[in-house]
Structure 1
Amino acid sequence: MTIAVLFFISSVCASDFVKIYLDNGLEAVKTAIEQKLTSKDFWLEELKDQNVSLGYYKDEVIIVVTNKTKKILKVYSYNKGKVEEKFEQKDVITGLMGDKQKEGDLKTPVGFYELGKKFNPGDPYYGPFAFATTYPNLLDKVQGKTGGGIWIHGYPLDGTRIDEYKTRGCIALLNKNLDSFAAIVKDKKVYVLTEEKDKVYGKKDEIASLLASLFEWKDAWTINDIKTYLNFYDEKEFKRFDKTSFSQFAVMKKNIFSKNEKKDIKFSDISISPYPNLEGKIMYRISFYEDYYTKNYQFKGNKVLYVRLDKEGKMKILAEQ
């Protein structure tokens, strides 16, 4: 976010800022910057030299990509718009094909998750150590998916033959590779992207549209424009973290917006990740830090949106927390 604002400031003559300030005051300068952030063209310029194939991130992250059909796991680093491959294993073992729906179906979920720290699984069936993913995530939960314990782990230490070994939905690496994997992800922010068949790519045009939409959504929220605000939600599929439906959510928001409270809302630390799915939708996960202030309510914390892009390239929110 800071980089984007600095880019905008550097692209506008100082005299333009002075004129805006003299004519309308400091608040008008802030408004001019925020309006620029709702421009897709602005974000396309911001992204032009960045590799966003695995997403857009403020800080350095590690992304673990597994393709269930090809049985390949790769590990990439992302830092300041540059992507570098760090690790690869072929013939990894995953669970059954298809997206995970319920506990015990033995499927590896298709989606985007965070990876926890190394731990001892306490059972030689899972190898020397393991890493837990955050399945089920928010989108999984509001869609009614169940189960858990989806790990990246090693091969069994109890003599089970590799050609007979099956996982219960986890991703298994050769034990000789597990140490290399652990060294790469140690003390890093790590995401796990699991594909079924087709490789999932982030695209600059899509991410620029999402960034512009995100700030349009924020602006509508700030000025209590309920019609524009609700238009960013998928009326049929949206559910909030507490499984509130769109119609229930809309009534609640209309009541809040009708108070016409003055709001100050800031977004920072924005990350946008492509989200694999089996429905052929263009989906992304958006996370950011929100600083929200009104006279009667304040919030500071992380927010997560799961969204799709519609045919016009506009953001439609599927789940929110």
Structure 2
Amino acid sequence: MPSRLLPLLLLCFAAPALAGESVSRELEQGLAKSLQAVGENHLDVALNEVDSLLKINPNFKLAQLVKGDLLLARAKPISGFGDAPNAPRDRIQDLREEAEARLQRVQQQQPIAVPKYLWQLSPRQRYAVVVDTGKSTLYLFENVNGEPRYVSDFYISVGKKGADKVSEGDQKTPLGVYFVNGRLTKDKLTDFYGPVAYPLSYPNEWDKREGRDGHGIWLHGTPSDTFSRPPRASNGCVVLANNDLNEIGSHLQIGITPVIIASKIDWSNEADRADRASLLKEIEQWRNDWASRDTEAYLAHYAHDFSAGNMNLAAFAQQKRLVNSGKTWIKVRLSDVSIFPYPSQPDLVVVNFEQDYDSNNLSNHMNKRQYWMKRNGRWQIVYEGAA
């Protein structure tokens, strides 16, 4: 047993079971018990525990490795994790990293706060997903009367090269605010991706503005003969055990559910609540200035580096002045507003809403997305377009 795993065992074994446990969490608790028994030299107890894990899922390779070590220990003393002769070192190292990640997850407590990235959920968004790549964990939150409430969490694998994707083929998982874009079923997938896959909206508008490219970032499962993969094993996707993926899949809404990916989750605090209040006030002022036909006050809400597709601030302002000059009255109504601070960019927030626009010569309805950034204490719009 590697010495770096031993300190985790006492912490993990003492950790309470969490409400809303997933299959991954159940297996992790069993793994901790088995390794605890190994540390106490109760090898028969450890073997019974690991046999129980393999009954739950025979393809749990980490449990298979522990069982192999325990059987080997009957013949000779073992000096480390994965001590079988001629075992491939790279595979053993992958499983060691999975063991550490899973034991650290057992140690984690149920969140008592809300991630700072969930400032406001739309009434239509029944659930939100937040991924912590550093802790190999995906959190599921339910929208309960407008407040995010923790439901469960799941072990995940991310990119081979870690997080913060920049370019096609860099084998990194992107960091940002994304949405579930679709659902691919078995008839459109190879076995490698599991029973179902959910494409995400990478690259989003901010990624494109920052010159980030690539495609095909999905939430997906594992091959039918594999329970889970090492913490860093994908080409950039977020990978879950198939039963965990099926569990969260029942809660995902195409085009609606946010999936926010961070390298380390920050939790909401009083400063976040103050920032949220000031942003909501600024959004309402933007709406009011537009409806009042005060075009210059309306345009002051847009940053100097604002863009909307290929249109910069100067072109946008010229168009708005021309359009508004023909209006005798304007009404603007916003509904289903959601607000998500961006995890990898300080003071950047993604705002989505339904917009109903009426005037003396035009009426329309659209789903709109804006990116607001706070600079020198003031929120301004740096991007605007259809959602």
Place the TM-score, normalised by the shorter chain, in its bin.
0.7 to 0.9
Written as runs of structure 1 = structure 2, the 5 A alignment for 1:42-53 is 53=116
- SS state of the match for residue 251, structure 1? helix
Q: 1:104 aligns with which of 169, 176, 198?
A: 169
Match of 1:27 in 2: none
Match of 1:302 in 2: 367
Match of 2:259 in 1: 192
Which shows bigger deviation, 227-236 or 213-222?
227-236
Q: 2:282 aligns with which of 203, 213, 218?
A: 213
Aligned-residue offset at 1:161: 8.6
Aligned residues of 2:347 and 2:373 also touching (Cα < 8 A) = yes
- SS state of the match for residue 274, structure 2? helix
Structure 2: runs of 5+ lacking an equivalent? 1-112
- SS state of the match for residue 215, structure 1? helix
Give the whole-Å Cα distance in 1 for the aligned partners of 2:296 and 2:254: 44
Match of 2:247 in 1: 180
Aligned residues of 1:150 and 1:170 also touching (Cα < 8 A) = yes
Match of 1:284 in 2: 349
What one-letter code is carried by the residue in structure 2 that aligns with 1:231? A
Aligned-residue offset at 1:176: 3.4
- SS state of the match for residue 204, structure 1? helix
Aligned-residue offset at 1:172: 0.5
Give the whole-Å Cα distance in 2 for the aligned partners of 1:217 and 1:264: 12
Give the whole-Å Cα distance in 1 for the aligned partners of 2:250 and 2:228: 27
What one-letter code is carried by the residue in structure 1 that aligns with 2:380? K
Give the whole-Å Cα distance in 1 for the aligned partners of 2:288 and 2:353: 16
Give the whole-Å Cα distance in 2 for the aligned partners of 1:171 and 1:142: 23
Aligned residues of 2:228 and 2:241 also touching (Cα < 8 A) = no
Aligned residues of 2:327 and 2:361 also touching (Cα < 8 A) = no
What one-letter code is carried by the residue in structure 1 that aligns with 2:190? D
Match of 1:257 in 2: 324
Q: Which has the higher contact order (CA 8 A, sep 6+)?
A: 1
Aligned-residue offset at 1:317: 0.8
Q: 1:170 aligns with which of 237, 249, 273?
A: 237
- Change in 2 beyond 3 A, CA 1:63/1:159: closer
Aligned pair 1:56/2:104, yes or no? Answer: no
Give the whole-Å Cα distance in 2 for the aligned partners of 1:222 and 1:161: 53
Give the whole-Å Cα distance in 2 for the aligned partners of 1:58 and 1:138: 20
Structure 1: runs of 5+ lacking an equivalent? 1-49
Which shows bigger deviation, 145-154 or 157-166?
157-166
Aligned pair 1:316/2:380, yes or no? Answer: yes
Written as runs of structure 1 = structure 2, the 5 A alignment for 1:42-191 is 53=116, 54-59=118-123, 60-90=125-155, 92-95=156-159, 96-120=161-185, 121-157=188-224, 162-163=229-230, 166-185=233-252, 189-191=256-258
Give the whole-Å Cα distance in 1 for the aligned partners of 2:228 and 2:261: 26
- SS state of the match for residue 149, structure 1? coil
Higher Rg: 2
- Change in 2 beyond 3 A, CA 1:261/1:143: farther
User: Deviation string for 1:166-205 (max 9, x for gaps)?
Assistant: 2111000122322222234378942101002342648221
Aligned-residue offset at 1:165: 7.1
Match of 2:307 in 1: 239
Q: TM-score, normalised by structure 2?
A: 0.62
Give the whole-Å Cα distance in 1 for the aligned partners of 2:152 and 2:295: 47
Aligned-residue offset at 1:275: 1.9
Aligned residues of 2:131 and 2:262 also touching (Cα < 8 A) = yes
- Change in 2 beyond 3 A, CA 1:219/1:260: same
CA RMSD of aligned residues (A): 2.8
- SS state of the match for residue 170, structure 2? coil
Aligned residues of 1:132 and 1:149 also touching (Cα < 8 A) = yes
Give the whole-Å Cα distance in 1 for the aligned partners of 2:368 and 2:267: 23
- SS state of the match for residue 208, structure 2? helix
Aligned-residue offset at 1:163: 4.3
What one-letter code is carried by the residue in structure 1 that aligns with 2:353? F
- Change in 2 beyond 3 A, CA 1:284/1:152: same
What one-letter code is carried by the residue in structure 2 that aligns with 1:308? M
- Change in 2 beyond 3 A, CA 1:66/1:214: same
Q: Percent identity?
A: 27
- Change in 2 beyond 3 A, CA 1:206/1:159: closer
- SS state of the match for residue 234, structure 1? strand
Aligned-residue offset at 1:298: 2.1
